[in-house]
A and B are shown apart, each in its own frame.
Chain A
């Protein structure tokens, strides 16, 4: 439990320093507006119910892409391809909704499967050919985005009309986005269960609860099942797990598929909300990359991903109030700084754990300066595992001194 508290503390420190940096930047760019705007940035998310609804609405897909990246991290893989899996998932959900006229839960299932398929290839290439999954999944981001755009622009129905675009349903000149579900297939919109009235916002639906449920499910799989244990074992030490009789190749592919499925489902949750249409643009969707921030801030913990996604969604909604005085990309800078700081979270954690220990056991100066070499050598994912040993070591040493 102590481990968890220290992780949270380290993340909170990163967040505070990141926000402080953001404030400094605001002052540098335009000092007269900096403080009121910074205040708005911090409070906008809870200023009224519709704003809070928007925070929750954007948090749902963020939790999913965050889970995608976090799950891959836990199993020793870096899934930077969440953006592509998210896009492909979104497309398949919309395809099922608009072209095949299926209900919302089937569409969500389709997005889940599509994301898994898009995660399958990088996993397979990694397992069979040992091609770095970072490079592969980046390539698949671009391939996925372009393929989806191409399909959206070209799919025709029996009448020869472009079925994914609004023109097949209503007379509309818009060609750069998909048809809105409100007229294409209202059955495919994720149910709102009265929440829209409660929050007085059209954005609100049950997607946030679906995302939280899946996060908890994933935590159970990772921490309470043999399957999850095997996946993690492969991440910690591939050779050791092979020696223990675990099929490492199969597990790499499965990890990437589950990870991709999470991201794909995120795409489904967002684009089946009825308030978002897929825009045909030559850019990679940022939701997948924000998932990396979510996972890193949560130190790859599925439950932590819920909170870090809520936080990132919260300051992104706050960031909209920065405009037009400041670019809303200020938020991206703040997030990037937070992630940069959390890259050496291990160092922060070591320092924090040292202080916590010192306060508790009241040890003398000598042990306070005790070196903590082991903790700094591993990488961040291994860090959590390394930490208790170090902490134990420090205690043992301090006890030794007292004796």
Chain B
């Protein structure tokens, strides 16, 4: 039973970055810009969030600043830095009409290198890992309560971070923004038929800028959430989660609720892979080396592949994504 609690809590904590980043990708693509740079945006968000936590560490340890308040600052900072980084993509692909995939690829190359260089600058030569302070986690002490039941204890407090709760709020806000506001409907129009949108007075450039910047904000926070979930500190990488999030977005058919389901599903497979050795009914492959490091971690990728193939018939991408907006093309 304890394993079940572990699996559920780990699934949630790994679903959070996928959900955030896939939502970010959705906003960008719904406005008509393919955001392949999500991986890079995540790395920058994670880097800056972790650096902020490092800078606030002294104040938190000394008791001058509440731990969760510091986490809130770090989270917002990660989001803002994600926006700043995404501006590079927006400028190239919207204003200069550059190829969106190439621009995104360049940013994906830039981010990890920049992260390593900055980590060196801050921490000194050869120090490539930014450690995450222990106060980042929400524990029983945060609320001043004790939960005696070990099941509940693991479920509620083993992998509990402020980012999880922020994500719930952001998800709801995202759904409302996309479907229930004028802004969201206009944004979607720009991804389907920008010329038609422009003909009724919508500023396509502005809408696309907004789409990319929202994806930068969500991607940045998603990067920090991933680093917290992975737990071993920030090492200038988010292990391909940005790309996995893109797959989640496609599997979720560019719709928020489907994306939520898809990200929980993928996170579950990821966690089953990680916990396989302690789950009784999973085959253990005795006598094979590297089962937990290489065999089970393959699972989410293979499942993704199969699902993308099975759902490809229903998949419907925004019509105008990837095409630079040109006023003259009606």
Question: Looking across the interface, which residue of chain B has its beta carbon closest to that of A148?
Answer: B294
Q: Check A153 against B102 for contact (C-beta < 8 Å).
A: no
Cβ of A317 < 8 Å from any Cβ of B? no
List CB contacts (< 8 Å) of A303-358 with chain B.
324-327, 329-333, 335-337, 339-340, 342-344, 346-347
Question: Looking across the interface, which residue of chain B has its beta carbon closest to that of A280?
Answer: B290
> Which of chain A's residues have a CB closer than 8 A to the CB of B324?
376-377, 379
Question: Which of these binds chain B: A86-94, A136-144, A248-256?
Answer: A136-144
Q: Check B290 against A154 for contact (C-beta < 8 Å).
A: yes
Shortest C-beta distance, B197 to chain A (Å), equals: 18
Q: Check B110 against A340 for contact (C-beta < 8 Å).
A: yes
Shortest C-beta distance, B306 to chain A (Å), equals: 10
From the candidates A80, A129, A140, A142, name the one contacting B105 in the complex (CB within 8 A).
A80
From the candidates A134, A282, A336, name the one contacting B109 in the complex (CB within 8 A).
A336
Q: Check B125 against A29 for contact (C-beta < 8 Å).
A: no
CA distance A150 to B113 in the complex (A): 28
List CB contacts (< 8 Å) of B285-330 with chain A.
288-290, 293-295, 297-298, 301-302, 304-305, 308-309, 312-313, 315, 324, 326, 328-329
Q: Check A125 against B309 for contact (C-beta < 8 Å).
A: yes
Question: Which of these binds chain A: B44-52, B91-99, B130-138, B205-213?
Answer: B91-99
Cβ of B106 < 8 Å from any Cβ of A? yes
Q: Check A336 against B106 for contact (C-beta < 8 Å).
A: yes
Q: Check B105 against A292 for contact (C-beta < 8 Å).
A: yes
Cβ of B114 < 8 Å from any Cβ of A? yes
Beyond A132-B250, A379-B99, whether A340 also contacts B107 by CB under 8 A is: yes
CA distance A346 to B312 in the complex (A): 33
CA distance A340 to B91 in the complex (A): 11
From the candidates B113, B295, B305, name the one contacting A139 in the complex (CB within 8 A).
B305
Cβ of B243 < 8 Å from any Cβ of A? yes
Q: Check B98 against A346 for contact (C-beta < 8 Å).
A: yes
Total number of A residues with any Cβ neighbor in B under 8 Å: 56
Question: Looking across the interface, which residue of chain B has its beta carbon closest to that of A162?
Answer: B289
Q: Check B99 against A380 for contact (C-beta < 8 Å).
A: yes
Q: Check B243 against A29 for contact (C-beta < 8 Å).
A: no
Shortest C-beta distance, A261 to chain B (Å), equals: 21
CA distance A337 to B88 in the complex (A): 11
> Which of chain B's residues have a CB closer than 8 A to the CB of A329?
112-113, 116-117
CA distance A55 to B4 in the complex (A): 53
Cβ of A131 < 8 Å from any Cβ of B? yes
Q: Check A135 against B116 for contact (C-beta < 8 Å).
A: no
From the candidates A80, A138, A141, A333, name the one contacting B117 in the complex (CB within 8 A).
A333
> Which of chain A's residues have a CB closer than 8 A to the CB of B97?
344, 346-347, 376-377
Question: Looking across the interface, which residue of chain A has its beta carbon closest to that of B109?
Answer: A336
CA distance A373 to B97 in the complex (A): 12
Beyond A149-B294, A329-B112, whether A143 also contacts B302 by CB under 8 A is: yes
Q: Check B116 against A327 for contact (C-beta < 8 Å).
A: yes
Indicate with 1 or 0, residue by residue over B31-44, a CB within 8 angstroms of chain A CB atoms.
Answer: 00000100000000
Beyond A135-B308, A143-B302, A336-B109, whether A296 also contacts B102 by CB under 8 A is: yes
Shortest C-beta distance, B245 to chain A (Å), equals: 11
> Which of chain A's residues have a CB closer than 8 A to the CB of B88?
340
Most buried by B among A25, A153, A340: A340
> Which of chain B's residues have a CB closer than 8 A to the CB of A326?
117, 120
Q: Check A337 against B110 for contact (C-beta < 8 Å).
A: yes
Shortest C-beta distance, A149 to chain B (Å), equals: 5
Q: Check B290 against A129 for contact (C-beta < 8 Å).
A: no
CA distance A342 to B114 in the complex (A): 19
Question: Looking across the interface, which residue of chain A has its beta carbon closest to that of B312?
Answer: A129
Cβ of A372 < 8 Å from any Cβ of B? no
Q: Check B102 against A339 for contact (C-beta < 8 Å).
A: yes
List CB contacts (< 8 Å) of A276-297 with chain B.
282-284, 289, 292-293, 296
Indicate with 1 or 0, residue by residue over A15-44, a CB within 8 angstroms of chain B CB atoms.
Answer: 000000000010001000000000000000
Cβ of A118 < 8 Å from any Cβ of B? no
Q: Check B294 against A129 for contact (C-beta < 8 Å).
A: no
> Which of chain A's residues have a CB closer than 8 A to the CB of B301?
139, 142-143
Cβ of B277 < 8 Å from any Cβ of A? no
> Which of chain B's residues have a CB closer than 8 A to the CB of A340?
88, 92, 103, 106-107, 110
Q: Check B113 against A332 for contact (C-beta < 8 Å).
A: yes
Question: Looking across the interface, which residue of chain B has its beta carbon closest to that of A338?
Answer: B106
> Which of chain A's residues have a CB closer than 8 A to the CB of B36?
134
Beyond A142-B240, A154-B289, whether A343 also contacts B103 by CB under 8 A is: yes
> Which of chain A's residues have a CB closer than 8 A to the CB of B247?
135, 138-139
Q: Check B243 against A138 for contact (C-beta < 8 Å).
A: yes
Q: Check A343 against B98 for contact (C-beta < 8 Å).
A: yes
Mark A residues whose CB is within 8 Å of B.
25, 29, 78, 80, 125, 129-132, 134-136, 138-143, 146-147, 149-150, 153-154, 282-284, 289, 292-293, 296, 324-327, 329-333, 335-337, 339-340, 342-344, 346-347, 373, 376-377, 379-381
- 21 A-B residue pairings within 8 Å (CB atoms): A129-B309, A135-B304, A135-B308, A136-B308, A142-B240, A142-B301, A143-B301, A153-B290, A283-B237, A293-B109, A324-B126, A329-B112, A332-B110, A333-B113, A335-B109, A336-B106, A339-B105, A340-B106, A342-B102, A343-B103, A344-B103
Would you list the 3 A-B pairs with minimal beta carbon distance, nearest first?
A: A332-B113, A336-B110, A340-B106
Mark B residues whose CB is within 8 Å of A.
36, 88, 92, 96-99, 101-103, 105-107, 109-110, 112-114, 116-117, 120-121, 125-126, 237, 240, 243, 246-247, 250, 288-290, 293-295, 297-298, 301-302, 304-305, 308-309, 312-313, 315, 324, 326, 328-329
